[in-house]
Amino acid sequence: MLTRRTFITGASASGALLARYGVGRADTWPSRPVRIIVPYPPGGSSDITARVIGERLSQAFAQPFIVDNRPGGGGNIGMEIAARSPPDGYTIVLATTAHAINMTLFKKLTYDTVNSFAPVALLTENPLLLVVNPALAVKTVGDLIALAKEKPGGLSYASSGNGQSTHLSAELFSSMAGIKMSHVPYRGSAPGIADVIAGHVQLMFDTTQSVLPHVESGRVRALGVTSKTRLTTSVGEIPTIAESGLPGYEAIAWNGFLMPKGTPPDIVAKVNAAVVELFSVSAVTERFAQLRATTRPTTPDEFGAYILNEIEKWGKVVKDSGAQVD
């Protein structure tokens, strides 16, 4: 059973593992390159986030923080690799909303988002955009819902993989709207949106970081944003989905750092402190603002509590939608 106390205080027990693994303390860490596992392909919002922060951490610690893309399995392959990695401070994994969702979406996981990792820091939060291929004869959320009701199962939507926020945001939309659409999962946001642009699938819920450039170039049309507030872009203001035909709808994607369970707490604290400090640098916050992402510094304990809340929230969506992956 997952408990808030288990996750938040779990890192404190890792000190007993120091001798077993021969790991160094924070005063000697890092003495070699640190790997940041990203469970998605290059080009998506999670990859962008990891690279922006990894570059800054490399500068701060005078050691390379190398992004290692390990896509597949709805974000599970990279997490499995991270969970099996030595808890020596030289593996970080970028977790996302999907890794809260997967706790109830997948019947079998070889890792546990709570018990296999030590929370380090929440990095960014950002809304998603509902976008369609411009050839689709809809201009608003209301138009899309009406068309989907006319053609049950006839519209297909891309996602960055089973269990991703891009998947469950669409499932939540379908459930609330009383419609049925066909899900086409991809191995990341980039190939999914590429097929929306090509017209192979009609629509997608994707993060602003990944899809906004395509909206502003006219390659896809944005119908609404999943946040409570409108999004201002170079092509005009994008209304919320809630105000555009689906009252009460909201979904936010996030990225955060975890390390394998048993990583020394002083190393976890050192990474957290560096991330928090980076978020006070205007160049960093401005970069994420350009990507329509909000930086949100937390302590490890706060991030642990945040993940538990996300597991509970999305678990309800999974159960209500009936989504399930073997």
Q: Where are the domains of the chain?
A: 4-126+254-321, 127-244
* C-alpha dist (Å) from residue 295 to 18, 123, 124, 288, 292: 32, 6, 5, 7, 10
Predicted local distance difference test score (pLDDT) of residue 27:
78
Pull the structure tokens for residue 77. 């392959």
One fold for 4-126+254-321 and 127-244: yes
What does the pLDDT average to over 12-37?
65
pLDDT tens digits along 185-199: 998 888 999 999 999
Phi and psi dihedrals of 122, rounded to 5? -75, 140
Q: What is the pLDDT of residue 89?
A: 98
Given a cut of 90, whether residue 81 has pLDDT beyond it is: yes
Q: What is the CATH number of domain 127-244?
A: 3.40.190.10
Report the pLDDT averaged over residues 111-123. 97
The more confident residue out of 34 and 43 is 34
The helix/strand/coil state of 217 is: helix
Summarize the confidence of residues 241-253 as an average pLDDT: 92
Q: Nearest Cα to 291, choosing from 255, 257, 240, 258? A: 255
Contact 176, 168 (CB under 8 A): no
Structure letter (DSSP) for residue 226: S
Q: How far is CA 204 from CA 71, 78, 133, 201, 225, in A?
A: 19, 23, 9, 8, 12
pLDDT higher at 324 or 142? 142
CA 133 to chain centre: 23
Specify the pairing of strand 203-207 against strand 156-159.
Answer: parallel
Report the percent of the chain where pLDDT is more than 90: 72
52-87 burial, b at 16+ Cβ within 10 Å, e below that, comes to bbbebbbeeeebebebbbbbebbbbbbbbbbbebeb
Confidence grade of residue 26 (pLDDT, cut at 50, 70, 90): low
Q: pLDDT tens-digit profile of 277-318?
A: 999 999 999 999 888 888 989 999 999 999 999 999 899 888
- Domain spanning 4-126+254-321: CATH superfamily: Bordetella uptake gene, domain 1 (3.40.190.150)
- Do residues 307 and 114 make contact, with C-beta atoms less than 8 angstroms apart? yes
